[in-house]
Amino acid sequence: MSKKTIVVCDHIHQDGLDILANDPEIELINAADEPKDTLIANIIPKADVAITRSSTDVDEAFLAAANKITAVVRAGVGVDNVDIPGSSKQGIVIMNVPTANTIAAVELTMTHLLSCVRKFPYAHNNLKNDRVWRRQDWYGTELKDKKLGIIGFGNIGSRVGKLAKAFEMDVLAYDPYIDPAKASDLDIGYTKKFEDILACDIITIHTPKNSETIGMIDTAEIAKMKDGVILINCARGGLFSEKALLEGLTNGKIAMAGIDVFDKEPATDHPFLDLDNVTVTPHLGANTKESQKNIAIQAAENAIAAAKGISYPNALNLPIKENELPDFVRPYLELVQKIGHLSAQITKTAVKSIKVMASGPVSEHLASMSTFATVGVLTESVGDQINYVNAEFVAKERNIGVSTEAKSSNSGFINKVCVKLTTAEGTISIAGTVFDDTVQRIIEIDDYALDVEPKGTMVFFRNTDTPGVIGDVGKIMAENKLNISDFRLGRDSKGQALAVVRVDGVVTKNILDELSSLDACISVAHASI
């Protein structure tokens, strides 16, 4: 049996290299020190599987050279430097290692939290570098009895909560996508009101980076916080508005901030570095020996499994090849994933069940569509940790029922798919179809018939069907300098209407509040694809 070639493109821990080198069925090429042009031109064409980190982009040039590659393992969580759609077209599975750095990220969060309350880095520098012994300059505060607000209560956020409880803190979690019992089982408070988090003494964030969470803490949110609040971000750059954070740190509203991640990195000339009430680190969330070792071992094991065709752990995509699925099915898989993601963004609450329905020939592929829909739904709450391999497991872990149903074709469409989401607060059903083989359309939302392209930023405005509503909505958009690129309206038999408004730009909380204040408004939400 011929050996499979695994190319390591970037530096990983020696234990991972040893696993690859000691497998008799694997030919290891360690190209971490090779120039990138040499790597792409001469080495990637030999690879069956590649292991990369942030230094190697899986881009057009990489994919063009990847004649034999069946899988790429990203040794870490983030895949910003990976062209996943391009890889999928080429039948290349992209895998990551999402949980190996959990403990490192949790402990770094606690490091920043403790450094902020005791101003440890500044006291250390004052004594060690300045040789000044002035104890009176370094009065801190205690964690005991302080209220810690945790935004995002997943694998990392929940562990931060457990450690904070050990310091006798009063911990409050905000995460609309979890069952509140996950917090209460840890003797941790849970709230559905974001304003409750803003009232805490210390606030830390542990969410995925998406359209809902970018700029989640901005000027308006900081204004509602306590004077002297402490903010921690060891998750993703951009979750806190850096402009608003800088203003709050400068005017004293924010006493201290602990920052490990920045909008643009490396951040060697950032204004935070000029302040004496910020603790900063250069994106060290995964930088422990144990974490790097775990990442390398998991990456090596995943690469070997993929090279041998055994499995594709933590796959972020699926290779869709011409001989595996009929051509007409592929856009429906993409469509149900989009519909699932839209449903989760619109509801923004804990999911109880996901039901995928289909009619027509596409219903023969309900099992695949169920996986894609589940990934779409859970992406909003789980982020990088959800993939096509673990979607069913994660759903079960969260007590989310997933089911399918083939329905008779009586809708007038050759093929029709529908995702019904049941949440803690109700249900939402979104149906769609594909025209001319590739043109995806949403055709129903609950009882409203529509024709909407699932693309871009959309506002979903449900209202009583009275005169003047369209004008009122348009006026609010115009006053907020949001251009309307499409406006679709559906009406039911109960005197209500649903408008789906596609806009160019960012939908802020202020815009949603203005829309909610309209007399005709029943509900308003927004989502992005």
Which H or E run includes 104? helix 102-118
Q: Name the domain boundary from 422, 455, 488.
A: 455
Q: Which of 272, 307, 342 is the last residue of a domain?
A: 307
| Contacting residues for 353 by C-beta, under 8 A, at least 6 apart | 400, 401, 402, 403, 421, 422
CATH of the domain at 85: 3.40.50.720
Over residues 213-241, the pLDDT tens digits come to 999 999 999 999 999 999 999 999 999 99
| Segment 87-117, tens digit of pLDDT | 887 879 999 998 888 999 999 999 999 999 9
Per the model's pLDDT, the better-predicted residue between 134 and 318 turns out to be 134
Helix or strand run (H / E) with residue 371: helix 366-382
What amino acid is encoded at 95 in this protein? M
In a domain, 312, yes or no: no
- Asked if residues 101 and 294 have their Cβ atoms less than 8 Å apart, the reply is yes
Q: 451 and 469 in one domain? A: no
Tens of pLDDT along 449-506? 999 999 889 999 999 999 999 999 999 999 999 999 999 999 988 899 999 999 998 8
pLDDT for residue 80: 77
Rounded to 10 degrees, what is the CA torsion of 153, 159, 162, 167?
-110
pLDDT at 323 over 50: no
Stretch 381-385: mean pLDDT = 79
Residue 504's SS3 state is strand
Mean of per-residue pLDDT scores for the chain: 92
Residue 410's pLDDT band, with cuts at 50, 70 and 90, is confident
What pLDDT is attached to residue 408? 85
Answer yes or no: 236 catalytic. yes
**Residue of 283, 341, 365, 502 marked active site:** 283
Q: Is the pLDDT of residue 274 over 80?
A: yes
Amino acid at 508: T
CA-wise closest residue to 317 among 118, 92, 60, 54: 92
Query: Measured between alpha carbons, how far is 45 from 133 in angstroms, rounded to an integer?
Result: 61
Answer yes or no: is 315 within a domain. Answer: no
* 83 within some domain: yes
Query: Which of 227-241, 401-415, 436-450 has the highest mean predicted lDDT (pLDDT)?
Result: 227-241
- Residues 117, 90, single domain; the answer is no
Instruction: Estimate the crossing angle of helix 102-118 against helix 155-166, to 10 degrees.
Output: 40
283 among known catalytic residues:
yes
Instruction: Count the residues in the chain.
Output: 529
Could you tell me where the DSSP H helices lie in 129-259? 155-166, 181-184, 194-198, 219-223, 242-251
End-to-end CA distance of the chain: 45
Query: What angle (nearest 5°) sits at the alpha carbon of residue 98, between those of residues 70 and 278?
Result: 135
Does residue 387 fall inside a structural domain? yes
Query: How far, in Å, CA of 179 to CA of 380, rounded?
Result: 15
User: Do 141 and 269 fall within a single domain?
Assistant: yes
Considering the domain boundaries, does residue 285 fall inside one? no
Cα separation, 406 vs 410, in Å, equals 12
* 377-385 average pLDDT score: 84
Residues 268 and 327 grouped into a single domain: no
| 59 and 92 inside one domain | yes
Active site residue: 13, 159, 206, 236, which one? 236
Q: Angle at Cα 314 formed by Cα 238 and Cα 364, nearest 5°?
A: 110
Rounded-to-integer distance, Cα 190 and Cα 174, Å: 6
Q: How far is CA 238 from CA 153, 160, 267, in A?
A: 18, 20, 13
Structure tokens at 86: 């391009």
Q: Which residue of the set 60, 168, 265, 364 is catalytic?
A: 265
In a domain, 169, yes or no: yes
Taking each helix axis as running N to C, give the angle between helix 330-347 and helix 366-382, from 0 to 180 degrees, rounded to the nearest 10.
40
Of 415, 404, 431, which Cα lies nearest the Cα of 339?
431
Query: Is there a catalytic annotation at residue 425?
Result: no
> Whole domain around residue 248: which residue ranges?
102-280
pLDDT band at 334 (very low <50, low <70, confident <90, very high): confident
The CATH number given to whatever domain includes residue 471 is: 3.30.70.260
- For residue 160, give both structure tokens: 């931060």
How does pLDDT run across 159-179, given as a tens digit for each residue?
Answer: 999 999 999 999 999 999 888
- Do residue 346 and residue 386 come from a single domain? yes
pLDDT given for residue 322 in this prediction = 42
CATH code, domain carrying 419: 3.30.1330.90
Inside any domain, residue 316: no
Instruction: For residues 504-527, give the mean pLDDT.
Output: 94
Residue 273 CA to residue 231 CA, distance in Å, equals: 16
Looking at the structure of the chain, the number of domains it has is: 4
Q: What is the pLDDT of residue 2?
A: 84
pLDDT at 383: 79
Tell me how far apart the alpha carbons of residues 456 and 439 are, in angstroms, rounded to a whole number.
Answer: 15
Question: What's residue 405's pLDDT?
Answer: 95
Task: Specify whether 138 is located in the same domain as 257.
Answer: yes
Domain co-membership, 182 together with 260:
yes
The answer to the question of residue 518 being in a domain is yes
Identify whether residues 274 and 390 lie together within a single domain: no
Cα 193–Cα 244–Cα 105 angle in degrees, nearest 5:
70
Which tokens is 364 given?
A: 């023969």
**Continuous segment of H or E residues that includes residue 110:** helix 102-118
**Same domain? 336 vs 239:** no
Greater pLDDT, 323 or 16: 16
Q: Given 420, 439, 455, which residue is the final one in a domain?
A: 455
pLDDT at 434: 94
Mean local confidence (pLDDT), 430-447:
92
CA atoms within 13 A on the CB side of 208: 19
Q: What is the pLDDT of residue 327?
A: 75
- The Cα 6–Cα 236 span in angstroms is 30
Judgement on whether residues 467 and 514 belong to the same structural domain of the protein: yes
Mean pLDDT within 276-291:
94
Is 386 a residue whose pLDDT tops 50?
A: yes
Domain match, 447 and 461 both:
no
- What whole-number distance in Å separates Cα of residue 157 and Cα of residue 161? 6
pLDDT bracket for residue 324 (50, 70, 90): low
pLDDT score of 1:
56
